Amino acid sequence: MGFLSDLMQQGISRLVGVVGNYGLAIIILTVLVRVLLLPFTLAQTRSTLKMQALNPEVQALQKKYKNNPERFNQEQMALWKKHGVNPLSSCLLMLIQFPFLIAFFQALEGFEPLQHARFLGIILGQPERIVLPLLTAVTTFLSMKISAPAATSEKSQAIMQYMFPVLIWWMSMRFPAALSLYWLVSNILAVGERFLLPRSLAPAKEGARS
Tens-digit pLDDT profile for residues 69-78: 888 888 888 8
Residue 101 lies in a domain: yes
Asked if residue 207 has pLDDT above 50, the reply is no
Backbone phi, then psi, for 178, in 5-degree steps? -60, -35
**Parent domain of 196:** 2-51+89-209
CA distance 183 to 136: 7
| pLDDT of amino acid 210 | 41
Beta bridge partners of 119: 122
Residue 33 lies in a domain: yes
Radius of gyration of the chain (CA): 20
Residue 58 lies in a domain: no
Greater confidence (27 vs 105) lies with 27
CA distance 151 to 51: 8
Backbone phi, then psi, for 83, in 5-degree steps? -95, 5
Greater confidence (25 vs 147) lies with 25
From the list 163, 41, 183, 28, the residue with the least C-alpha distance to 105 is 183
Residue 70 lies in a domain: no
Residue 81 lies in a domain: no
Residue 56 lies in a domain: no
Mean model confidence pLDDT for the chain: 81
How many independent structural domains does the chain possess?
1
From the list 54, 101, 99, the residue with the least C-alpha distance to 78 is 54
| pLDDT of amino acid 96 | 77
- Beta-carbon contacts of residue 60 (< 8 Å; ≥ 6 apart): none
Is 141 within 8 Å of 161 (Cβ atoms)?
yes
From the list 172, 165, 163, the residue with the least C-alpha distance to 139 is 165
Asked if residue 51 has pLDDT above 90, the reply is no
Greater confidence (81 vs 129) lies with 129
Nearest-5° Cα angle at 39, 190 to 10: 75
E strand segments, 19-121: 118-119
Question: Quick one: average pLDDT of 133-148?
Answer: 85
Is 183 within 8 Å of 168 (Cβ atoms)?
yes
Greater confidence (168 vs 89) lies with 168
Asked if residue 203 has pLDDT above 50, the reply is no
Within 10 Å of residue 110's Cβ, how many Cβ atoms?
9
| pLDDT of amino acid 31 | 94
CA distance 36 to 59: 36
Residue 72 lies in a domain: no
Residue 59 lies in a domain: no
